[in-house]
Structure 1
């Protein structure tokens, strides 16, 4: 069996080896990160993904006669549609408040830390608006309604990403 002094020597040797291994791993990880950060190029604003969603949204708008149906179809459940418009307005107003006022004018980059209630309220309002629009427009397009609304949403999001 080992003496106490031998155990202490063995423990110190393992501790030294562990410290040496930790130092070499952290430096190589830091070197890899810095090299990766140097190699990373920003993504181009216009890419195939954005163009696809914008073109798909325009095609769905055209072929479903979206705006004509929204304005003149009597099958739309107007109460649900109005609730959806109000909730969408709330969601867009909160998003505009965060982007335009807080980021551009006040210079607050992390507004979710300053105003922690805004992201969940905005998300909840948007999800509720989406459900309301699906209920309101279901009599018109049936099971195509979620697909049409999703295509519209993605097209608008990709268009906005091109602007900013």
Structure 2
């Protein structure tokens, strides 16, 4: 157990830490406008991460002959591939509905608050589609399949972020 002097030392250390944290909180409140200004400033469209994922996706597409393999390979489990296409279609149609119709035409910026079921349904459809595509394409690329599909996904997402 701690004696009285050790307890006093510990109490003083916590008191100093609390004072330091309180000073930091008050100074951050003064800098609140500058932080809000920093948050409102848009991020640059082109950054190292976006360029890396786009180039990696292009490289994977080229080196594994992605499109010809998906279109012509007979080892693909077509049932899983078709299920993945349907689920990806659901995911993309819900995303298009939110972005194009709700934001552009209706002017609803926070559609997740207006329609709270859309984000979880879209997420579940996308996760199920990714599993379906992994099962369907496993005979083609074996244990490289998740890496290839993840790289393609990230490349598409970063490309869309540059467009938007």
TM-score band by shorter chain is 0.7 to 0.9
Q: For residue 26 of structure 1, report the CA deviation from its aligned partner.
A: 6.9
Unaligned runs of 5+ in 1: 1-23
Distance in 2 (alpha carbons) for counterparts of 1:58 and 1:83: 25
Distance in 2 (alpha carbons) for counterparts of 1:47 and 1:25: 31
Distance in 1 (alpha carbons) for counterparts of 2:24 and 2:50: 39
Q: Which has the larger radius of gyration?
A: 1
User: After TM superposition, which residue ranges in structure 1, 4 or more long, deviate above 4 angstroms?
Assistant: 24-27
Distance in 1 (alpha carbons) for counterparts of 2:50 and 2:34: 29
Alignment of 1:28 onto 2:23: no
TM-score w.r.t. length of structure 1 = 0.81
Distance in 2 (alpha carbons) for counterparts of 1:30 and 1:53: 37
TM-score w.r.t. length of structure 2 = 0.81
Q: Which residue of 2 aligns with 1:4?
A: none
Q: For residue 34 of structure 1, report the CA deviation from its aligned partner.
A: 1.5
Q: Which residue of 2 aligns with 1:50?
A: 50
Distance in 2 (alpha carbons) for counterparts of 1:162 and 1:42: 12
Distance in 1 (alpha carbons) for counterparts of 2:138 and 2:159: 26
**Size of the alignment, in residue pairs?**
142
Aligned runs of 1:7-156 on 2, under 5 Å?
28-39=27-38, 41-156=41-156
Q: Deviations over 1:11-40 (max 9, x none)?
A: xxxxxxxxxxxxx88753321222333456
